[in-house]
Amino acid sequence: MILQQDASLSTAAVAEAVGLSTSPCWRRIDRLEREGIIKRRVALVDRAKVGLKAQVFAQVKLNAHGRANLDEFSAAIRDVPEVLECHVLMGSVDFMLRIVAADIESYERLFFERLSQLPGVQEINSTVALSEIKHTTALPV
């Protein structure tokens, strides 16, 4: 939990917070990294402060031919940097995307020039987020 809140803390600071000495704490952190529990340590950037003021959730439905080639869509969507998340869904739509853009006009260009042109896309339903009530990267462990 402590590293999820601030991964820049020194091992000594983490050790003090959890009541361990530095060496066993370092070994535990190292094991968490080796086992892939800690995937990576990153800086979280404020999207609005870097000019990405629009956040859009898009539900993507593939045509029958597209569903047979989910891998093709999946590979293509990985190349769209504005798409921060892509989830495969069960139900009436196939994918849920979380997308950021400078503004709605930028999203509109992305929609017509890239997203609607992706392989197998039949339909995209976009929902613009007005504000963010909660956002966390910390898992409840």
The verdict on 58 and 87 lying in the same domain is: yes
| Number of domains forming the structure of the chain | 2
Give the domain extent around 8.
2-34
Per residue in 17-26, pLDDT (tens digit) is: 999 999 999 9
Per residue in 44-75, pLDDT (tens digit) is: 999 999 999 999 999 999 998 777 778 999 99
pTM of the model: 0.89
The verdict on 23 and 53 lying in the same domain is: no
d(CA 90, CA 79): 23
Residue from 9, 96, 18 nearest 56 by CA: 96
CATH code where residue 7 lies: 1.10.10.10
